């Protein structure tokens, strides 16, 4: 199997993951970490060296640029990739290694006895005989989403030096996707004028996404009544017990570990409590918009039930929409989605359409009126130290990007 451009593609990927850029959920600013700005500055220099126009890095770490069309009348197409890697309490420093996989378990780190076990990750069996980028077991790999960054930058390099035909190409590299799509929500679409756009985020070879969750974050603050145990009867209101009763209002079978496919869920993700206060954090997810709104309404309904049980407790709820289902933003024109399937067919890539049990920057952009479906990077096991990137799949992702450009250039 020949893979033109694979050395350039891989070299870029390794260069980008060498810059630590975890987002920081405790920082409300955008970008939430200086490392993301460092990656953006690196890319800014590369974009200018490639001769792109309208290169702009703003105060939020959002980097945009334009490659003007060389084919009159071709659609303007955009690509969006995020700068941050996920904060999951692993090392922020990525130490990659490229191994030729021959099957079985993979020793990532002999010194620390860190392995990827085939029994736990049977997906490895699909990549026997391939070169694969792994970590050393102490971090995520960062293919989410620096594989996309490398994909887009390699595409721009190829197109400019080979003068391939294309309409206007605009690219955006945004921060803090992993902590609420903060960067894409701040994008100025007046500076990103395209007919449609794509993200290249997550997923194994051939996976295409144009349905995502509707998502909300919920915070619940419970204030109890303190008292000394010697005189607590009829006085003490324990906020931990009130919080427990509140949590128990939600169906235990509608949680992430008990749902799949297009089933929605509740997910209590955090609890901070003391003798006076209990603060709960929860995520709501659902593909169906009506059911999603019902879930949001139940947050306050459950609070009313608990208030009736504990009239002296103070219970405050807040629900904030985080992103929406890309499918809800689709109109009659499905051109960007149809192009994905055409590109895959011409490249002889077997597609797998998945409703993503999560969201992409495209979820935020589609809600703002810019339809932005998603296709694969080729990497697997995101958000874990078992994340890995088979190079043949990575190369196919780049081929998809180049094919999409060729198809849009023909639509003049």
Active site residues per annotation = 84, 177
Cα Dmax for the chain: 83
Tokens read off for 260: 């799949």
Beta bridge partners of 5: none
CA distance 203 to 219: 30
Query: Please, are residues 37 and 23 in contact by the beta-carbon 8 Å criterion?
Result: no
Residue 40 Cα distances to 16, 191, 403, angstroms:
10, 17, 26
CA angle 261, 262, 263 (to 5 degrees): 95
Can you tell me whether residue 74 is helix, strand or coil? coil
Rg (C-alpha) for the chain, rounded Å, is 23
| Residues forming beta bridges with residue 172, ordered by sequence position | 64, 80
Q: Which residues contact 308 (CB under 8 A, 6 or more apart)?
A: none
* Residue 303 DSSP SS3: helix
- Around Cβ 151, how many Cβ atoms within 10 Å? 28
């Amino acid at each position: 199997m020949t893979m033109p451009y694979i050395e350039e593609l891989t070299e870029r990927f390794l260069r980008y993951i060498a810059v630590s850029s975890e987002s920081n959920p405790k920082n409300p600013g955008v970008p939430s970490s200086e490392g993301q700005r460092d990656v953006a500055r690196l890319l800014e220099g590369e974009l200018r060296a490639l001769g792109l126009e309208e290169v702009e890095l703003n105060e939020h770490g959002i980097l945009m640029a334009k490659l003007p069309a060389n084919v009159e009348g071709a659609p303007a197409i955009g690509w969006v990739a995020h700068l941050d890697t996920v904060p999951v309490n692993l090392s922020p420093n990525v130490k990659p290694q490229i191994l030729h996989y021959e099957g079985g378990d993979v020793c990532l780190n002999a010194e620390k006895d860190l392995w990827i076990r085939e029994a736990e990750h049977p997906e490895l069996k699909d990549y026997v005989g391939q070169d694969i980028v792994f970590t050393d077991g102490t971090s995520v790999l960062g293919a989410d989403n620096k594989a996309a960054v490398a994909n887009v930058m390699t595409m721009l390099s190829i197109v400019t030096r080979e003068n391939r035909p294309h309409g206007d190409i605009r690219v955006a590299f945004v921060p803090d996707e992993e902590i609420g799509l903060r960067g894409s929500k701040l994008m100025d679409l007046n500076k990103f004028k395209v007919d449609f756009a794509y993200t290249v985020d997550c997923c194994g070879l051939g996976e295409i996404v144009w349905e995502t969750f509707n998502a909300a974050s919920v915070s619940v603050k419970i204030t109890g009544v303190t008292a000394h145990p010697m005189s607590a009867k009829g006085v003490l209101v324990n906020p931990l017990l009130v919080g427990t009763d509140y949590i128990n209002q939600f169906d235990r079978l509608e949680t992430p570990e008990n749902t799949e496919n297009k089933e929605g869920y509740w997910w209590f993700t955090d609890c901070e409590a003391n003798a006076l206060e209990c603060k709960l954090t929860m995520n709501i997810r659902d593909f169906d918009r009506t059911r999603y709104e019902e879930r949001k309404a139940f947050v306050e309904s459950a609070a009313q039930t608990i208030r009736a049980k504990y009239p002296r407790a103070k219970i405050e709820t807040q629900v904030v929409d985080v992103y929406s289902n890309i499918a809800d933003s689709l109109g009659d024109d499905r051109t960007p989605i149809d192009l994905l399937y055409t590109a895959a067919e011409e490249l002889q890539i077997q597609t797998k359409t998945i409703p993503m049990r999560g969201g992409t920057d495209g979820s935020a952009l589609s809600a703002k009126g810019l339809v932005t479906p998603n296709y694969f990077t080729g990497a697997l096991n995101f958000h874990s130290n078992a994340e890995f990137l088979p190079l043949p799949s990575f190369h196919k992702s780049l081929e998809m990007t180049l094919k999409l450009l060729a198809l849009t250039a023909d639509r003049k």
